[in-house]
Structure 1
């Protein structure tokens, strides 16, 4: 009698377990919810760092993609690139025609890299997660990957596990740690000769090693455009990631898993400098969880050619963050460290300013969602809205000189200005709430760049 009962219980447990499993197809993979932590975090830091950080050069007056210093190797060898001549002229003039890209690894020394200091800078920026390039399209890995023998940061260059050291420091600060990973490699002989063997023997084992070794909360893939997701075996990897990996409950992935997948399959959708496949989405709310990635300047990798005018101001960056969050997205803001392991001071300054604003106004950013009834943003008003529970946040990117009217709120609503200890005058007329901004002076002004009126019990 015990054996049938045991068999029945075993079947029941296995059946429940099987129902929770994700299959290697997009219908199943796409059914997995994006972990809540990501939608609550709102602000992350992208880090592009690698051998490309040694030449650290790109033009600054070209189209966006042509400015990317991390594409240095490709631009040197691609005569179809609009900036091919510019890259070659700079390279030959600076290093000589016989200097190969691989020779740059000797300059990727990272002797100034202090992971604890980086983690402090990142934490104080107000970011809640970090995504480091574990491997860009050049194929060089920042960890001791067996699949990239003699082309990784432990075997050559700094002789150090950069990914591991930073991951440990970032997690110690209570931030989520993730990794960018390029599916393809420009000049890997195996990739060029047999992409299927490359995927089976190189890419998949490498990705599983990265996940198993460092347990990241984000796997941010790129370089997917050469092949459909079937060639990359993306759904098979994601089924493993969601069913068996040590981060199956918490990991967030993006939508770059094949040339057909952006804004269609995977996890979060990703825009880049507001460039998306569906251009009608720019400036509008995207219903699916999404994230905008961009640099402080025009490049992701550090670009020595950039001037002050090429960098976004702190005010602009705060406004970008507000815009993305109010439309239901996240901002993944990139920094490009130097080859010796420093975060450029101008980037530190921008991050510190964003952190200062968030320390006052983070309540209107973290854990919020877009407000379905928010009026359209206009050039005159520049007012954005977020919500959290029954509370509404009215975010003004310029301090209002006249009263504001918020429509469709509860008569029990109570208004305050975040960071300001004084009272804010308000008047209700039906479901309309009139907010009269207080008069501020340098002593009472709570912040710079943008101001937030909290409307408690508004909804």
Structure 2
């Protein structure tokens, strides 16, 4: 039912699978031999994973719980060989990198490396930031406190840093015992959805720009899409003026159109110097007119070659 519901919404269906099982008798028996035997894997893990693939045809397999032993104990190469060569999803499936000690960040269609992996620099391999809204747990905790939960601003900061550096973000929240999502998590998701309804253009189908984090203003991160660059500001700038370093090259001898997503007003800008480095200063609109909170996106588009002095500058 879940797989059908997901696909009915035009979404890709993925499966999470934990290799390790703390209290399985077969697992405990293997541990008593120092894992010389792997009856748990042969009789439980492999048949189960093959059955899951054959029954549900997942587009993603997210393996976990591999830290205890290396890939030979888990027979990961045997399973992956079957998956990529014989399974019903051999031409479409992708997998992560948690298939045995030492495999993380080295092998896989995409890397997750460690929980909450956020390198904040561009990577040379597809990667994912698997994080959780409860900073202390991946499951539901009845006695968590408000300070344990990521704020909306923290969530958007993590999203922005991840997407700017070419990563995918996996946002986890633990459901209650009867399958409900706690209200605090619902609120965070609604906030995120509302923000994306205004600023999704800078996130969905975007690609990293040549620079990720601005050199002049550290709370600004960049994404791009064709001839458009997006500057995502995680704070409202002092005096309503955002100072950018790396973006100067988009303005020198060009006439870009600068707007804030959710606001049609064309923003004024000027080029100056700060500590011997050129910067561009962009005047934000009146805060009362903006369409969102927490983070604001400048869209810099359609630059054409003209002299800088022809531009309407900030007085």
TM-score by length of 1: 0.58
Paired residue for 2:295? 450
1:286 equivalent in structure 2: 123
Note the alpha carbon deviations across 1:203-239, whole angstroms, 9 max, x for none: 1111111112112221101111122112212122112
Q: As a proportion of its length, which structure holds more helix?
A: 1
Q: Does 1:437 align with 2:283?
A: yes
Higher RCO (CA-CA < 8 Å; seq separation 6+): 1
Give, in whole Å, the separation in 1 of the partners of 2:119 and 2:266. 37
**Matched residue, 2:21:** 185
- What residue is the counterpart of 1:308 in the other structure? 146
Shift, 1:282, TM fit: 3.6
Structure 1: give runs of 5+ residues left out of the alignment.
Answer: 1-164, 276-280
**Structure 2 residue matching 1:372: 3-state secondary structure:** coil
- Cα distance in 1 for partners of 2:302, 2:43 equals 57
Kept after mapping to 1: 8 A contact 2:198/2:292: yes
CA contact (8 A) 1:293 1:334 kept: yes
- The match for 1:218 is 60
Alpha-carbon offset, residue 412 of structure 1: 4.8
1:107 corresponds in structure 2 to none
State the distance in 2 between where 1:389 and 1:439 align. Answer: 25
1:425 aligns with 2:268: yes
For residues 374 and 295 of structure 1, the distance between their equivalents in structure 2, rounded to whole angstroms, comes to 23
Q: Output aligned runs, 1:354-433, within 5 Å.
A: 354-376=192-214, 381-400=218-237, 401-405=240-244, 406-409=247-250, 411-427=254-270
Shift in Å, 1:427? 4.9
SS at match of 1:208: helix
Cα offsets for 1:113-148 (capped at 9, x unmatched): xxxxxxxxxxxxxxxxxxxxxxxxxxxxxxxxxxxx
Classify the secondary structure of the residue corresponding to 2:105.
coil
Please say if residues 222 and 232 of structure 2, whose CA atoms lie closer than 8 Å, have aligned partners that are also in contact.
Answer: yes
Alignment of 1:19-418 (within 5 A): 165-194=1-30, 195-274=37-116, 282-297=119-134, 298-376=136-214, 381-400=218-237, 401-405=240-244, 406-409=247-250, 411-418=254-261
Contact 2:257 2:303 in 1 (8 A): yes
Q: How far did 1:407 drift?
A: 2.5
Q: Evaluate the alpha carbon distance shift between residue 394 and residue 338 of structure 1 in structure 2; reply closer, same or farther with a 3 A threshold.
A: same
- Contact 1:255–1:268 at 8 Å: present in 2 too? yes
The number of residues matched between the two structures is 286
In 1: Cα distance, 2:90 partner to 2:170 partner:
22
Summarize the Cα distance change of 1:438–1:266 in structure 2 as closer, same or farther, 3 Å threshold.
closer
Structure 2 distance, partners of 1:223, 1:174, is 29
Change (3 A) 1:235 1:394: same
Corresponding residue SS for 2:80:
helix
* Structure 1 residues 414 and 182: CA distance shift in structure 2, 3 A: same
CA distance in 2, matches of 1:374, 1:292: 16
SS at 2:199's partner residue?
helix
CA distance in 1, matches of 2:287, 2:219: 22
Structure 2 gaps of 5+ residues are 31-36, 273-277, 305-315
Deviations 1:379-401 (A, max 9, x none): x5400001122221100011222
